[in-house]
């Protein structure tokens, strides 16, 4: 019997739930050529949303090509140019014998070396001379626009984990270079998304940064509990199992509506259900999930300073007035000046997320593990 819940990979077709408002907004941006900056914590479903929007746009207009580029493993400006050029050629050129001709026309100052995978001739690899790239970056940065005009198509370039460009050797100069070229493009639009909220915010919302007001910035929210309940119930029914509304709601509540964990906890619960789900099975599944991740969580906690651990204990206990003298004394946090430093350090580690002065754990299962197994709070 097929397991009806999906996590750890793209949620497509019937596995994709809700997000209709965000989906419509993204589809309209793709269709209208509006640049989009999509920001949310890791595992909230950004990639699934972008792919779903791309599929919907492509299904209605064959003249639109959507290109996906993952910057997660890209460490240098040179690598960025390489993966960009390769991705553009793959999405715009179906015939291998055309590639050399287009590169000669549009990248004549670089003359990259071309190689192909023996197993799949469409898997092309371009090699550039870095000195030439430094002199003529426009050869790569304008390649998509030139190919779109040549092919009479429109292209959407989607960059996942885009915030990684902030770690390049000269990040500000590189961002200025990208903006100066990309803002002129008429046939190419950009979807830039990433999971490190504070880094993405620095790139796109600071008036002093090159990508300020580059396009539509929107923040992906969690899927609401009322959307998860019918989704979970329907998935159980598909496999001829049953779960009552209150128990489906419990699954979402235990992991605070976190998209990845809702699917994972629902799967663990489903595996424990023969006919009708019972709440003890959900709590058992939740406990199993915490224990599965216990070594990871222990390593994270061991890497923190004593004061950072004290700060997390205050959060686990639901404290909100973190700078008050009572909280500072109760949790041994020192002075109120320490609080902003602790927040920044933990946000940089992606342990907490700060939105409009509200502090939350990015990982609700880590929060639950801390409470039950580390701090042993009843």
Secondary structure (DSSP) of 60-112: H-TTEEEEEEE-TT--SHHHHHHHHHHHHHHHH---HHHHHHHHHHH-TTT--
Supply the DSSP symbol for 220.
P
**Does 312 have pLDDT greater than 70?**
yes
Instruction: Write phi, then psi, for 252 (nearest 5 degrees).
Output: -65, -40
**pLDDT for 86-120, tens place per residue?**
999 989 987 777 887 888 888 888 877 777 765 55
Supply the DSSP symbol for 345.
H
**Residues 214, 237 within the same domain:** no
CA–CA distance, 80 with 271 (Å, rounded to integer): 43
- Is position 1 within any domain? no
Final residue before a domain boundary, out of 219, 241, 272 = 219
- Is position 9 within any domain? no
- Is position 6 within any domain? no
Query: Is the separation of the CB atoms in 314 and 327 below 8 Å?
Result: yes
Range of the domain at 351: 304-374
Residue 240, class by beta-carbon neighbours within 10 Å (0-12 exposed, 13-18 middle, 19+ buried)?
A: exposed
- Is position 12 within any domain? no
**Residues 312, 348 within the same domain:** yes
Q: Which of residues 44 and 283 earns the better pLDDT score?
A: 283
Query: Is the separation of the CB atoms in 272 and 284 below 8 Å?
Result: yes
Q: Work out the angle at residue 264's Cα, subtended by the Cα atoms of residues 261 and 266, and round it to the nearest 5 degrees.
A: 105
- CATH classification at residue 269: 1.10.8
**pTM of the predicted structure, to 2 decimals:** 0.77
Q: What is the pLDDT of residue 345?
A: 94
* pLDDT interval class at 5 (50, 70, 90): confident
**Residues 33, 171 within the same domain:** yes
**Residues 349, 275 within the same domain:** no
**Does 378 have pLDDT greater than 50?**
yes
Residues counted in the chain = 378
**pLDDT for 340-352, tens place per residue?**
999 999 988 889 9
Q: What is the pLDDT of residue 99?
A: 80
**Residues 330, 354 within the same domain:** yes
Query: Is the separation of the CB atoms in 67 and 155 below 8 Å?
Result: yes
**Residues 212, 242 within the same domain:** no
**Residues 48, 164 within the same domain:** yes
Element (H, E) at 132: helix 130-135
Q: What is the pLDDT of residue 117?
A: 67
b/e string for 346-376 if b means 16 or more Cβ within 10 A? Answer: bbeebbbbeeeeebebbbbbbbbbbbbebee
**Does 372 have pLDDT greater than 80?**
yes
Q: Which of residues 258 and 115 earns the better pLDDT score?
A: 258
Q: What is the mean pLDDT of residues 50-63?
A: 91
- 3-class DSSP state for residue 42? coil
- Is position 272 within any domain? yes
**Does 13 have pLDDT greater than 50?**
no
Mean pLDDT of all residues belonging to the chain: 89
Name the nearest CA neighbour of 233 among 4, 42, 74: 4
**Does 41 have pLDDT greater than 60?**
yes
**pLDDT for 269-303, tens place per residue?**
999 999 999 999 999 999 999 999 999 999 999 99
User: CA-CA distances (angstroms) from residue 114 to 100, 121, 145, 182?
Assistant: 8, 11, 21, 25
CA–CA distance, 234 with 232 (Å, rounded to integer): 5
**pLDDT for 161-204, tens place per residue?**
999 999 899 999 999 999 999 999 999 999 999 877 778 888 88
Q: What is the pLDDT of residue 106?
A: 87
- Is position 187 within any domain? yes
Final residue before a domain boundary, out of 219, 239, 274 = 219
**pLDDT for 234-245, tens place per residue?**
999 999 999 999
A 10 A CB-CB count for 319 gives 16
**pLDDT for 317-363, tens place per residue?**
999 999 999 999 999 999 989 999 999 999 888 899 887 778 999 99
- Is position 2 within any domain? no
**Residues 212, 322 within the same domain:** no
A 10 A CB-CB count for 339 gives 19
**Does 8 have pLDDT greater than 60?**
no
Element (H, E) at 194: strand 188-194
- Is position 298 within any domain? no
* pLDDT interval class at 218 (50, 70, 90): confident
CA–CA distance, 68 with 57 (Å, rounded to integer): 14
Indicate the number of domains in the chain: 3
- CATH classification at residue 25: 3.40.50.300
**Residues 233, 204 within the same domain:** no
Final residue before a domain boundary, out of 158, 186, 219 = 219
Q: Got the DSSP string for 221-287?
A: PPPPHHHHHHHHHHHHHHTT-B--HHHHHHHHHHTTT-HHHHHHHHHHHHHT-SSB--HHHHHHHHH
**Residues 309, 341 within the same domain:** yes
**Residues 163, 272 within the same domain:** no
**Residues 236, 328 within the same domain:** no
């Amino acid at each position: 019997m097929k397991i009806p819940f999906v996590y750890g990979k793209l949620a497509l077709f019937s596995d994709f739930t809700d997000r209709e408002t965000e989906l419509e907004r993204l589809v309209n941006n793709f269709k209208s050529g509006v640049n989009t900056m999509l920001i949310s914590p890791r595992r909230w479903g950004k990639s699934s949303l972008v792919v779903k929007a791309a599929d919907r746009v492509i299904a209605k207009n064959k003249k639109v090509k959507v290109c996906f580029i993952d910057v997660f493993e890209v460490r240098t400006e040179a690598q960025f140019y390489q993966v960009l050029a390769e991705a553009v050629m793959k999405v715009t050129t179906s015939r291998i014998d055309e590639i050399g001709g287009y590169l000669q026309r549009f990248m004549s100052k670089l003359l990259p070396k071309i190689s192909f995978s023996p197993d799949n001739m469409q898997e092309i690899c371009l090699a550039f001379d870095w000195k030439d790239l430094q002199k003529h970056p426009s050869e790569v940065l304008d390649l998509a626009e030139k190919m779109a005009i040549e092919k009479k198509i429109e292209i959407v370039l989607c960059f996942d984990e885009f915030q990684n460009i902030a770690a390049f050797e000269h990040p500000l100069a590189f961002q200025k270079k990208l903006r100066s070229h990309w803002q002129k493009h008429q046939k190419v639009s950009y979807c830039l998304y990433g999971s490190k909220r504070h880094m993405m915010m620095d790139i796109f919302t600071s008036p002093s940064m090159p990508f300020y007001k580059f396009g539509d910035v929107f923040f992906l929210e969690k899927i609401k509990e009322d959307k998860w309940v019918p989704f979970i119930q329907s998935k159980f029914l598909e496999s001829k199992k049953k779960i009552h509304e209150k128990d489906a709601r419990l699954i979402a509540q235990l992991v605070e509506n976190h998209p990845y964990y809702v699917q994972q906890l629902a799967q663990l619960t489903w595996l424990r259900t023969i006919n009708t789900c019972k709440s003890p099975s959900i709590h058992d599944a939740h406990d199993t999930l915490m224990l599965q991740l216990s070594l990871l969580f222990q390593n994270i906690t061991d890497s923190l300073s004593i004061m950072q651990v004290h700060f997390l204990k205050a959060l686990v206990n639901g404290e909100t007035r973190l700078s008050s003298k009572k909280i500072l004394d109760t949790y041994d946090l020192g002075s109120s000046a320490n609080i902003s430093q602790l927040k920044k350090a933990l946000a940089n580690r992606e342990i907490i997320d700060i939105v409009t002065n509200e502090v939350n754990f990015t990982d609700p299962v880590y929060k639950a593990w801390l409470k039950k197994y580390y701090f042993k709070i009843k």
